[in-house]
Chains A and B, each alone.
Chain A
Amino acid sequence: MREFTYTITDAHGIHARPAGLLAETAKRFSSAISVLCGDRTADGKRLLALMSLGARCGDALSFRIEGADEDEAADALLRTCGEVI
């Protein structure tokens, strides 16, 4: 299992567009991907679930990735985070 935490620096938090880009990245991998924000959890491959986290600037997102391609998935997600949120 791979885990990492990313703190949102974008002033708008996880808006629809970045949530979509994160979900699109997550869907490229077979690993199970969950995203925790506070006491809420979302399936990283689901756009509406990610948006429903209501994550804002300064919130920490914890990613938990488990599966055959977890290393590649973690790297790709971390890169997407850096680019969009």
Chain B
Amino acid sequence: MMTIRGTGIGESAAIGRLFWLAPVREGGAAVPVGSPAEEEARFLAAADAAQKELRALYEESRTTVGEEAAQIFAVHAMIAADEDFTELVLARIGTGESAENAVIEAAQTLAERFRAMDDEYLRARAGDFTDIAARLCDQLTGRESVRDLPDNSDPIIIAAHDLTPSQTVGLDRKRIAGFVTAAGSPGSHTAILARSMNLPALVGMGANDVLSVLDGRQVMLDAAAGELIVDPDSIKIAECRARMQAEQEAARVRSALRDLPAETCSGRRIRLGANIGLPREAAEAAALGADGVGLMRSEFLYLGAKQPPGEEEQLAAYRAAAEALGNQPLIIRTLDIGADKQVDYLNLAKEENPALGLRAIRLCLCGDRALFRTQLRAICRAAGERAAAGAAGQIAVMFPMITSPHELDDALDELYAVQAALDREGREIDPDLSVGMMIEIPAAALMAEQFAPKCAFFSVGSNDLTQYTLAVDRQNAAVAPLAAGAHPAVLSLIARTARAIHAEGGWCGLCGELAADPSMTQTLLDLGIDEFSVSPAHLLKIKEKIRSCT
């Protein structure tokens, strides 16, 4: 047995045969192939081809390894076309170097520059230049160098100096049990890939030569301990298998949790919904066993568009989300946008203090209200369609940033006018369409009794409620700690909010970050919160917590 130490990525362990993945290529052509002009043309053609290849790899790998891990290819494509890189290469070609050598030297220069930086992430990018150089050299020489995996079915621990995206993209992922690299850091490609594939890895082992001679040996990778054990004895193997089983068991428990209700020990059934920003996330929430969507942010339809989204476009988005949820509720929050988000077509004036400015319902209720009416029509039509399909009451409307009762009245008048108009046009409407409002401004919480009779539910936006109650800008790192945890003043406003809506027979949700903090779950339940809405990634964690609360 031999043990080599490294920086562990993840907590899990794996057993398999070590497979040494040699560097993609070493060195270029030593002698210039043609004149500087010819070398320059060769380089530019190779850079163009490499860019196209990388863009294709990006598109392809988004579906196989996910957006985060795939982005590396998009970045490489941009670096391959970057002026600084190109200028370095062309300058060397100008001194009589071959295109290959010029590319390798330029990449080395940039790698050194990044290696000297303070930021750990940027230092980790040094390896990217080597990979880009290797890809460009492959283009220049037409050489390919991917080693096939051994022809059997053993799980494999991939070992390399520092894995590059090009090296891993062609590998049969089903057979890989883990990764070890001599170089690399927690920000390197290997680490990102391991995390996205949910596999253990060790990076920064500093033992290039050792790893290469271990090719084919049985190894045990323990990410939690930061150890690679070569030729593990039977006790180590048994220990490792037991741990792997326990991990599988934990994963099984979590997935079983998916089908269990969010119910406290005392039998109180809590609604646990998801916060989503895009229609496709509704399917993800449903797959994780969410009780519908507690907050659908409609901003995605408006941001990054050239003109306001039309009624049909919005209808399609709301319909898609609702259908993905089966009969589970979908709460759509009307547009919450202001001067802090740039939307050209709205022509919003610059504001000194956008958090306190013309945003959300305030924006919707000013001017000719065309933006607001279009959105309400789309929501009401989606609700009508769902009612006709047997899912009456599935869709709910929620107004953001309500401060005073006249704003709620105004918004409700608009909503009822839209419903009446749709009815007159002979379209389906949902008679059970429920309406609620966000409680995110202290004034609204303090006057909750006045809003409650007109609402089926409240949803506490704890982020803004905290920011406005404590006068703490949550984007400002210097004061953000002042809003950490839950301030008694905020909790008192939440309690008041819940009491007011309960007195009218309605329910109280919470859709801010507090909902996703397990240390707050019991407190929020005690304050009377009936619905938690969290991002899909937090659903199971909070469900597990709710099931252990009283």
Contacts and interface: CB of A to CB of B under 8 A. Distances in A.
Interface in B428-462: none
Nearest to B81: A47
Q: Is the interface of A mostly helix, strand, loop or mixed?
A: helix
A28 interface: no
A49 interface: yes
Contact of B122 (A47, A51, A82): A51
Interface residues of A, number: 27
Residue from the set A7, A54, A75 with the largest chain B CB neighbour count within 10 Å: A54
A17 B113 CA distance: 19
Contacts of A23: 78
Contacts of A57: 477
Interface in A27-62: 43, 45-49, 51-52, 54, 56-58
A13 B110 CA distance: 20
B310 interface: no
Interface stretch (B82-90, B137-145, B370-378, B527-535): B82-90
B477 A49 contact: no
B83 A75 contact: no
B125 A51 contact: yes
B233 interface: no
A75 B342 CA distance: 8
A58 B477 contact: yes
Contacts of A78: 342
Nearest to B67: A17
Given A17-B71, A54-B119, A82 B342 contact: yes
A48 B452 CA distance: 55
A57 B121 CA distance: 13
B380 to A, nearest CB: 30
Nearest to A7: B475
A23 B84 CA distance: 12
A45 B125 contact: no
B477 A12 contact: no
Contacts of B117: 52, 54
B448 to A, nearest CB: 31
Given A48-B85, A75-B344, A20 B74 contact: yes
A54 B118 contact: yes
Given A48-B84, A56-B119, A82-B341, A17 B75 contact: yes
Contact of A52 (B85, B113, B128, B304): B113
B121 to A, nearest CB: 6
A17 B121 CA distance: 12
A6 B114 CA distance: 24
B75 A46 contact: no
Interface string A1-30: 000000101001101110010011000000
Nearest to B113: A52
B22 interface: no
A53 to B, nearest CB: 10
B499 to A, nearest CB: 35
A20 B75 contact: yes
Given A16-B78, A79-B304, 10 more contacts: A9-B475, A16-B75, A17-B71, A47-B82, A48-B82, A48-B110, A52-B114, A78-B342, A82-B342, A83-B303
Interface of B: 71, 74-75, 78-79, 82-85, 110, 113-114, 117-119, 121-122, 125, 128, 303-304, 340-342, 344, 475, 477
What are the 6 A-B residue pairs with the smallest beta carbon separation, nearest first? A16-B75, A20-B78, A79-B342, A48-B84, A58-B477, A47-B82
